[in-house]
Amino acid sequence: MSTRTSIHGAWSGRLAFILAATGSAVGLGNIWKFPYITGENGGGAFVLIYLICIACIGIPIMMAEVMLGRRGRQSPINTMQALAEEASASPYWKYLGWSGVVAGLLILSYYSVIAGWALAYVFRTASGVFTNVTGDGASSLFGRFIADPEKLLAWHTLFMVMTMAVVARGVKGGLEKAVRFLMPTLFVILIILLGYAMNLGEFSRGVAFLFNPDFSKISADGVLSAMGHAFFTLSLGMGAIMVYGSYLPANVSIAKTSIIIAVMDTLVALVAGLIIFPIVFANGLEPGAGPGLIFQTLPIAFGHMPGGEFFGTLFFVLLVFAAWTSSISLIEPAVAWLVENRGHTRVYAAVVMGIVTWSLGLLTVLSFNLWSDFKPLSGISVFENSTLFDLLDYLTANIMLPIGGLLIAIFVSRIMTSDITMRELNIQDSQHAGYRTWQFLTKYIAPAAVVIVFLKVTGIFDITVIFNAILG
Ligand code: PHE
């Protein structure tokens, strides 16, 4: 095992790391994004592809990222530089760290705006705005809310301040303290809400929508979204898990913890789906409603159930907590780098990166109102209706994260020696079945999957063309 130590400190133990990494993974991706993109892509088939991607690409790459971080013990940029040097590989590998930092800031710029919606909805639900609200009523309240750039900006600003406040306090005093309180609370709230959804008449329809695959409903772009979402939801491909790995004590098992984190993240997404779709169907709503889905559907449920104000408030508090423990990991790679390379204090670094991200967030704020008709790539068919927010989301989740993940898989399986990876994974025998599986997945399956899906979406590679050629 490597003998480096991190200048930023370390988690107090295995549980703290699991909570922090699960906190990073579980976020808006699970509770806000997973339901609405599942709805847009027709349900079961999309979910199945997403689950396969988690198992065959997500878990092995998560192990890879934790390993790189723990061995490098620095921000992803410096870790990649140090490990490339150690392997006598090209110094350009450090740009993998850079692209992660950029992806993290871009994601956080829109993530924070959506988290701002959740913040606003905490107060709206608590004040009883949704009591007895109708489907149309909830939609029009949401529509008026996002049409107001000043409101979105105010909530986005508040959320960025919350994020910076935690990051500025450091690994043990900020990040770890926050997740130790927030994550258990989140699990309790989810279970309470699942209980509510199970008692709705349409629970079984929700289950069928999520788990009965109908492959006629999914396109190549849908497959890319499922794969991109596997990266997004596990926080992979941009260095968040890598930087958290750099604070991981040396004796903790990377394989076991990665599997625990991925399983918890997947469970939360499925439970969120099981809460939301029964409500959607019970109220005759549209599963493909887009990014506003949970903000348009859940208030109806909360507006009619006994104790709805309480449960509704609780739900949006949960969403804010989940987003908060993810946002700190989106900005941590950038902050750690500023501290390491420029010698700034954490407080200063958090403020600088926070301001950069906040400013980028203005693009998303405006894309829901004043610039909602600005569709710069409308000439390309998949982007026909894409606003700046949609493009940012697509660029990061569907392009930058999978490419980052692809390169990480290549690095651990082809650049690092198996001596080193075996030592980090605590494996003595190179024929160990688990180790061989991991190697196979990172060396062949993950890279091939990313490349094939890309080629398919861009239309360069069409499996049907090959079949037709073979079959004459
Ligand atoms: N995994 C987080 C979510 O599901 C988002 C995220 C992506 C966080 C990438 C860190 C890095 O909401």
Q: Which of 32, 271, 330 to mutate to test the pocket of ligand 1 (most atoms within 8 A of CB)?
A: 330
- How many angstroms does the Cα of residue 30 sit away from the middle of ligand 1? 9
DSSP 380: S
* Both structure tokens of 403: 């490419």
- State the CB neighbour count (10 A cutoff) for residue 203: 19
HSE (CB half, 13 Å, CA atoms) of 49?
Answer: 26
N residues, the chain: 472
Residue nearest to atom 10 of ligand 1 (CA): 235
pTM listed for this prediction: 0.94
Distance between CA atoms of residues 305 and 339, nearest Å: 49
CA-wise closest residue to 283 among 305, 312, 255: 305
- How many angstroms does the Cα of residue 235 sit away from the middle of ligand 1? 4
- The greatest distance separating any two alpha carbons of the chain, rounded to the nearest whole angstrom, comes to 67
Collect contacts of 374-380 with beta carbons under 8 A, ≥24 apart: none
* Residue 45 and residue 213 in contact, taking contact as beta carbons nearer than 8 Å: yes
Q: Which of 30, 65, 235, 398 to mutate to test the pocket of ligand 1 (most atoms within 8 A of CB)?
A: 235
CA-wise closest residue to 338 among 75, 19, 121: 75
pLDDT value of position 1: 52
Residue nearest to atom 9 of ligand 1 (CA): 235
- How many angstroms does the Cα of residue 200 sit away from the middle of ligand 1? 30
- How many angstroms does the Cα of residue 340 sit away from the middle of ligand 1? 24
pLDDT value of position 461: 60
- How many angstroms does the Cα of residue 329 sit away from the middle of ligand 1? 8
Residue nearest to atom 11 of ligand 1 (CA): 235
Say which residue the tokens 């919606």 belong to: 117
Distance between CA atoms of residues 117 and 155, nearest Å: 7
Backbone angles phi, psi at 305, to 5 degrees: -85, 150
Residue nearest to atom 8 of ligand 1 (CA): 235
Q: Which atom of ligand 1 is nearest to the CA of 326?
A: 8
What is the CB < 6 Å shell around ligand 1? 24-25, 27-30, 107, 232-233, 235, 238, 240, 326, 329-330
Q: Which of 34, 329, 403 to mutate to test the pocket of ligand 1 (most atoms within 8 A of CB)?
A: 329
- How many angstroms does the Cα of residue 104 sit away from the middle of ligand 1? 9
- State the CB neighbour count (10 A cutoff) for residue 427: 17
- Give per-10-residue mean pLDDT for the chain (472 aa): 81 91 96 95 96 97 98 97 97 97 98 98 96 91 97 98 93 81 82 86 93 92 93 97 96 96 96 91 87 91 86 89 94 97 95 98 98 94 92 95 97 96 94 96 96 81 61 60
Q: Which of 182, 232, 268 to mutate to test the pocket of ligand 1 (most atoms within 8 A of CB)?
A: 232
301-325 pLDDT per residue, tens: 889 888 889 888 988 998 998 999 9
Q: Which atom of ligand 1 is nearest to the CA of 25?
A: 1
Distance between CA atoms of residues 370 and 361, nearest Å: 14
Distance between CA atoms of residues 225 and 230, nearest Å: 8
* Residue 225 and residue 45 in contact, taking contact as beta carbons nearer than 8 Å: no
Compute the Cα dihedral for 246, 250, 255, 257 and give only its sign.
negative
Q: Tell me the residue ranges of DSSP E strands in 75-189.
A: none
- At position 173, the amino acid (one-letter code) is G
